[in-house]
Copies of this chain bind each other. A is one copy, B any other.
């Protein structure tokens, strides 16, 4: 009768995997597990917490524990690709953001000294001024991505890039007007568990990693003009890259 937290979690995990407990379904609560397996409440709790930390379940206070759902947003790094070139409809993870528009909230634009790593990448003096564009992207009212762009203040201070509204074509159109059109990009990705502040800002549930992306924009002659640090809710995103060669 009496089992361990791991064993109870194993049983529930198997029921989730088999589809017996579908995404969104309610898992047995702590009292139910206490009765069924003859364990202490803390043990039942641990079993459920194991599933949460594996990203399989979500707990809602006062309501219950539920099987987690995954309806990803697809982020395609290479923008201007024709569907025909790469073959459509071949995605492993289906993802439709079509019906769920993404909006920018909490936009803040200001000038500040460049962080050390950003200064190094942008080829600036230590502590040189940069224009910072800090924003939060939201889908259906839920934050999904935080992004902070850094650009040399000497380069963009007088342009609309230093304004909240960058105008038609956005930052890259303005950079082109300044003779610094980005044509190549380097992205560095890392995934890890979020800090507490990140959890709050992105409304992350336990067991959700984040994806940290640093994107550097380069001009034709290889000059770095922008560093964009993005933080993505990994429970929501699928990243797609197209590589030639």
Provide the main secondary structure of the chain A interface.
mixed
Q: Are B238 and A190 in contact (CB under 8 A)?
A: yes
Complex interface: stretch among A90-98, A125-133, A139-147, A158-166: A90-98
Stretch at the interface among A18-26, A28-36, A77-85, A101-109: A77-85
Interface size class of A (residues with CB under 8 A): 35 or more
- Chain multiplicity (copies): 2
Complex contacts, A86 vs chain B, CB 8 Å: 184, 186, 218, 222
Min CB gap A144→B, angstroms: 14
Residues A130-188 near B (CB distance < 8 A): 183-188
**15 further contact pairs, Cβ within 8 A, besides A93-B190, A184-B244, A185-B242:** A54-B195, A77-B243, A78-B244, A86-B186, A90-B186, A92-B188, A183-B244, A186-B241, A186-B243, A189-B189, A189-B239, A189-B240, A190-B239, A192-B209, A209-B234
